[in-house]
Amino acid sequence: MRLVLVGPPGAGKGTQAEFVAAMLAVPKISTGDIFRANVGRGTPLGVTAKRYMDAGRLVPDEVTINMVADRLADSDAVYGFLLDGFPRTTPQAIALDELLCSRETKLDVVLELVIEEDEVIRRLSGRRTCRGCGKIWHIEFDPPRATDQCDRCGGVLFQRDDDRAATIAERLRVYDRDTAPLTDYYGAQGRLVGIDGTGPVEDVTARTGDALRSYLG
């Protein structure tokens, strides 16, 4: 199986990606992991990407796509993979299709976690991170005993800038502009499967499994 997982920030893609990858026995491949691996090893692509990142600029699609192409050529991904965080735009999706076509294969399905904007803001803005051990708490779903102290290590809890309502709203705006059009692109190909991403994690996971089993017949 060759899959892509899409959804807005806060939809729970990381959790569902782990579940789907384990269910189908395929590697979970994220662009974050790919970037860190290339930069860490000092590959030519990593050196190029780091130059853009250090300058605070977006890494060009060509560099990102080449990194993904290299990763998908690894032996563990030859017969299947789950991509999380790529493609982010329609041009990247077209490039991925062309890459897979050149290798005489194609995507099987694109899973979309569907969630309302208000729920995303509720999830992300409630997160609190420990300055000591890095554990993430949630004031509603997983609250610490004290509002400003970590139960695990006693460290001070704080709200990351990424988890503030204004920042979340901007991230959602960028998602709607750049990534949401992927649903039209893959929907026109008949590869898109929508999954309700609201509710407890175990409920979303159950719906994800049901959707996959139904799609696979």
207 assigned to some structural domain: yes
Q: Is residue 88 among the annotated active site residues? A: yes
50 assigned to some structural domain: no
How far is the C-alpha of 207 from the C-alpha of 52, rounded, in Å? 39
Q: Is residue 106 among the annotated active site residues? A: no
Residue ranges of the chain whose pLDDT lies below 50: none
Q: Which one is catalytic: 36, 41, 103, 160?
A: 160
How far is the C-alpha of 16 from the C-alpha of 113, rounded, in Å? 9
200 assigned to some structural domain: yes
Report, in this order, helix, strand and coil percent for the chain, each rounded to 5: 50, 15, 30
Q: Is residue 131 among the annotated active site residues? A: no
Q: Which one is catalytic: 50, 122, 135, 171?
A: 171
**Could you give the residue ranges of the DSSP H alpha helices within the chain?**
13-24, 31-41, 44-54, 61-72, 90-102, 117-125, 165-178, 182-188, 201-216
Q: Determine the pLDDT at residue 58.
A: 84
Q: Determine the pLDDT at residue 71.
A: 96
57 assigned to some structural domain: no
198 burial type by CB count under 10 A (0-12 exposed, 13-18 middle, 19+ buried): middle
Q: Is residue 36 among the annotated active site residues? A: no
Based on the structure, what is the number of domains in the chain?
A: 1
Q: Which one is catalytic: 50, 88, 122, 191?
A: 88
Give the structural domain span for 200: 2-26+79-116+179-216
CATH number for position 101: 3.40.50.300
89 assigned to some structural domain: yes
How far is the C-alpha of 166 from the C-alpha of 186, rounded, in Å? 30
At 146-177, the pLDDT tens digits run 989 999 999 999 999 989 989 999 999 999 99
13 assigned to some structural domain: yes
At 124-142, the pLDDT tens digits run 999 999 999 999 999 998 9
Q: Which residue has the tokens 């090893």?
A: 41
Q: Is residue 13 among the annotated active site residues? A: yes
174 assigned to some structural domain: no
Q: Determine the pLDDT at residue 39.
A: 93
36 assigned to some structural domain: no
How far is the C-alpha of 139 from the C-alpha of 2, rounded, in Å? 37
Q: Which one is catalytic: 13, 71, 123, 128?
A: 13
Q: Which one is catalytic: 71, 127, 128, 207?
A: 127
